[in-house]
Amino acid sequence: MEGGTVRKLKSSWILFSFLVALLNLPNAASADWQMQHPYLPDLMAVWGNSAKSVFAVGKNGAIVSYNGTKWVGMRNPTSSDLWGVWGSSEYDVFAVGSESTILHFDGKSWTTLPCSGGHLFLGVWGSSSTDVFAVGAGGTILHFNGDTWTTMAANSTSNLWNVWGSSPSNVFAVGDEGTILRYDGRQWTPMQSGNSAQLLGIWGSTPTDVFAVGTKGAILHFNGSDWLRMDVPFFSDLWSVWGSSSSDVYAVGTGGLIIHYDGAKWTKIPSGFAADLYAVWGSYPVGLFAVGAESVILHQGPS
C-alpha cells in the first residue's frame, strides 16, 4: 500500500518555517533558504518516498526537500505556483502547477516537461513512472505514458483538485460541486457523490475504502458501491487526506485543523498552530508531515 504504515506517533507536532531570501526561485540556491519571518510563501502539497526523501511544493515555484535531517530549498526552472507533487521513487518525481507547468526530478535536478494549452494543474498521481495523471481547472486531465502527455476526455468541466488511485484501472478525481470522476482504464465516468461541497483531497487504502474531503467539513467515504457522507463535528474546510490504513486516517484544513479517523470516529488532534494546512502525507518510519500557509511544515515523528 502506498505510504507504508505509521506507528507510535508522538503527540506533539514540530514546526518548521522557511523563507526564500531571493523570491525568484529559479535563481535561488539551497543556501538562500533561511528560517525567517514575517513573509513566507505557501506550501500546497507534500509527498515522500523514504525518511530521507520528502518533497513539498508551493507558491512562486517553491520546492523544498527533506533529507532526514533538515529541509533545504531546491533550484528549479519555474516561478509558477505549484499545486501538486507525486513520485514513483526519489529519482522520479513530478510537480504540477499553473501556466501548464509540469516539472520532473530525476534525483539530480528539476526540468520542465513540454505541455501546451495554458492549463492550471492542481493535482498529480500515478501508479508508476509510465502511468501518471495530472488534473486541473475546467475538467483538465492529462496522462503521461513515460514519453508524452496526452489529453484525456474527462466528461466534466468542473475544476478538479486532486487525483488518487489504487491501480491503473481504478483512479478517482475530485473537484468542485461534489464532482467525483472514476477511471476504469478506458474512460472517465462521473459518480454520484450526493454532495455539493468543493472536494479538495482524496486518498484510499483499498479500492473499497476511499476517503474524499472538502469545504465546510465535508468527508465522504466510498465502500466500493456508494459514496456516503461521514458525520463529523467539524465545519472547517478540509484540504487533504492521507492514511496508513482504514483505521488510521488523517485530514488537515483551515486554521491548523488536524483530525484523525480510527475506524470508528473522527477526532481533533491539537496542532498548536493556526496557519491553514493544505496537505498531509506520511510513512513509517518518516512519520507525518503537514504543510500549509506561510511555508509551515509540521512533523509528527515516530517515537
CATH no. for 14-300: 2.130.10.10
Distance, in Å, from the CA atom of 50 to the CA atom of 289, rounded to the nearest integer, reads: 12
Instruction: Give the CA dihedral 36, 42, 45, 47, nearest 10 degrees.
Output: -10
Which three-class secondary structure state does DSSP give residue 255?
Answer: helix
CA-to-CA separations, 275 to 35, 107, 127, 150, in angstroms, rounded? 16, 31, 32, 37
Residue range 240-257: mean pLDDT, rounded: 96
Distance, in Å, from the CA atom of 96 to the CA atom of 81, rounded to the nearest integer, reads: 8
% of the chain at pLDDT higher than 70: 86
- Return the C-alpha cell found at 164: 488518487
pLDDT band for 30, please (50, 70, 90 cuts): very low
Average pLDDT, the chain: 87
Q: What is the pLDDT of residues 103-112, one digit of tens each?
A: 999 999 999 9
Place of cell 484510499: 204
CA atoms within 13 A on the CB side of 244: 16
pLDDT band for 17, please (50, 70, 90 cuts): very low
Segments making up each domain of the chain, as ranges = 14-300
The pTM assigned to this predicted structure is: 0.88
- Return the C-alpha cell found at 41: 510563501
Q: What is the pLDDT of residues 201-228, one digit of tens each?
A: 999 999 999 999 999 999 999 999 999 9
Q: What is the pLDDT of residues 281-296, one digit of tens each?
A: 998 777 899 999 988 8
pLDDT band for 273, please (50, 70, 90 cuts): confident
